[in-house]
């Protein structure tokens, strides 16, 4: 059973058809450790724009040269970063733009960075077989290096919205073990949860992030439905869109994929970016619609369900690179008898940081369908100072507003508060109602 079918078995979903979703950039993450006393004291902030359009660039990776520290621009292209010392060299990278570096010589600097768009080359890559050749070589490279492990930390943030109103916020920091294709295991280090009374909540949405992978060495290759399998020609239509130049040599091929119409067991559509020299997968973005979901309330039903997964790996000169982020978005209509449908959206963004190949003595738990995120968080003592001083939670202004609204209600650390019980008898203006 391949990775995709395992994920479907966990979630009891049926996948059919899809639409290609919006574009996100490559991310390089984030802070250097869990100890809130270890953060640096030399703040730098700025904004990153496209050199031609002058539009802000979201999710641009900002790394500190020679260290594991870094951050990423938010949805408005803005970023803040604390350095351990100055001077330092910052590296700015995003898949569709040329990498650039800036030397920071003093604290408090405000930077305005402009990245030039990467050139798209189409001259010699229009042959249909080239796309299949690249995907097959990426599969072989993934299969060969699947046993090489990475160890580090991951920050997970999930927000549930009902009719665009945030109703649930969940955050966890994991110790994470991963490889070239997936997360292999996690153990929670910190967590917090806040929620308003709402129609519905997602109790194990992190399963989409932790269970999904591009390749599984235990899968039955004769039945594998994933893009990276021996069956890619039989199961997928591929079209190469172009090659993004990385510099003087090499490039990253952009390949659109879609399951063939005759493939009825699994439907997906998306784009994959593959380094044409190393065959490393740089990014994989996939959308699948019509997932079958169930609610505890038998009067609830779900329609127009769609899941989008976006995996980004580090992009350098090697063929084996760790994960940088995984983004999971699910949208659907919640239908109740006699009422208009409610628009639901659950979004999760996981950042991987402080990653190395050095093994640890930690225990990493494999994902199971029985795990519940809220129960896992409750097993860890809530540390408000950790969350107040950790720059990873300050990334996105909109999400910070959501967090602030929950913090004002005193929800963090106390979990979900139950509504006050209603009185059997109410007295108003001296009269019993």
Rounded-to-integer distance, Cα 256 and Cα 271, Å: 4
The dihedral through the CA atoms of 257, 262, 263, 267 has a sign that is positive
Q: What integer best gives the mean pLDDT of the chain?
A: 79
Rounded-to-integer distance, Cα 151 and Cα 190, Å: 17
Q: Is 176 within 8 Å of 269 (Cβ atoms)? A: no
User: In the predicted model, what is the mean pLDDT of residues 112-119?
Assistant: 85
pLDDT in tens, 43-77: 888 999 999 999 998 878 888 888 877 777 877 88
Picking from 275, 183, 259, 185, the residue whose alpha carbon sits closest to that of residue 226 is 259
Omega before 87 cis (within 30°)?
Answer: yes
pLDDT in tens, 133-174: 999 999 999 999 999 999 999 999 999 999 988 888 888 999
For the ranges 192-196, 253-257, 345-349, which has the lowest average pLDDT? Answer: 192-196
388 or 10: which leads in pLDDT = 388
Looking at residue 341, what is its pLDDT?
93
What is the pTM (predicted TM-score) of this model?
0.74
Q: What does each C-alpha distance from 219 to 7, 69, 144, 226 come to in angstroms? A: 12, 36, 15, 10
Q: Is 142 exposed, middle or buried (0-12, 13-18, 19+ CB in 10 A)?
A: buried
Q: How confident is the model at residue 249 (pLDDT cuts 50, 70, 90)?
A: low
pLDDT in tens, 219-245: 888 888 899 999 999 999 999 888 887
For the ranges 223-227, 263-267, 317-321, 333-337, which has the lowest average pLDDT? Answer: 317-321
406 or 190: which leads in pLDDT = 190
Residues in the chain: 433
User: In the predicted model, what is the mean pLDDT of residues 12-35?
Assistant: 32
């Amino acid at each position: 059973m391949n990775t995709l079918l395992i994920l479907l078995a966990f979630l009891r979903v049926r996948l059919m058809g899809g639409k290609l979703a919006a574009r996100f950039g490559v991310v390089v993450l984030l802070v250097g450790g869990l100890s809130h006393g270890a953060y640096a004291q030399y703040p730098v902030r700025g904004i990153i724009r496209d050199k031609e359009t002058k539009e802000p660039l979201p999710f641009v990776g900002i790394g500190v040269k020679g260290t594991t520290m870094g951050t990423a621009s938010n949805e408005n292209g803005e970023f803040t970063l604390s350095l351990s010392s100055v001077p330092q060299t910052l590296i700015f990278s995003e898949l569709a733009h040329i990498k650039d570096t800036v030397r920071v010589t003093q604290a408090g600097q405000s930077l305005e960075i402009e990245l030039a768009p990467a050139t798209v080359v189409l001259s010699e890559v229009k042959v249909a077989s080239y796309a299949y050749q690249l995907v097959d070589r990426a599969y072989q490279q993934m299969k060969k290096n699947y046993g090489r492990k990475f160890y580090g930390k991951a920050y997970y943030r999930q927000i549930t919205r009902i009719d665009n109103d945030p109703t649930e916020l969940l955050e966890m920091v994991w110790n994470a073990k991963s490889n070239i294709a997936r997360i292999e295991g996690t153990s929670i280090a910190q967590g917090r949860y806040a929620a308003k009374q709402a129609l519905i909540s997602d109790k194990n949405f992190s399963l989409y992030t932790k269970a999904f992978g591009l390749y599984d060495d235990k899968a039955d290759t004769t039945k594998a439905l994933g893009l990276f399998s021996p069956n890619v020609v039989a199961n997928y239509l591929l079209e190469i869109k172009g090659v993004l130049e990385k510099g003087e040599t090499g490039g990253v091929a952009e390949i659109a994929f879609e399951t063939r119409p005759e493939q009825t067991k699994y439907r997906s559509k998306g784009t994959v970016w593959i380094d044409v020299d190393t065959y490393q997968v740089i990014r994989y973005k996939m959308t699948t619609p019509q997932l079958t979901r169930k609610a505890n309330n038998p009067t609830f039903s779900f329609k127009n369900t769609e899941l989008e997964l976006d995996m980004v790996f580090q992009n350098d000169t090697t063929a084996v690179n760790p994960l940088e982020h995984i983004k999971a978005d699910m949208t659907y209509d919640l239908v109740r008898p006699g009422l208009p449908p409610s628009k639901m959206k659950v979004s999760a963004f996981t950042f991987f940081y402080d990653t190395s190949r050095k093994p640890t003595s930690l225990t990493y738990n494999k994902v199971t369908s029985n795990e519940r995120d809220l129960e896992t968080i409750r097993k860890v003592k809530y540390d408000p100072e950790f969350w107040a001083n950790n720059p990873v939670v300050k990334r996105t202004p909109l999400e910070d507003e959501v967090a602030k609204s929950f913090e004002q209600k005193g929800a963090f650390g106390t979990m979900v508060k139950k509504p006050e019980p209603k009185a059997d008898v109410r007295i108003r203006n001296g009269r019993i109602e």
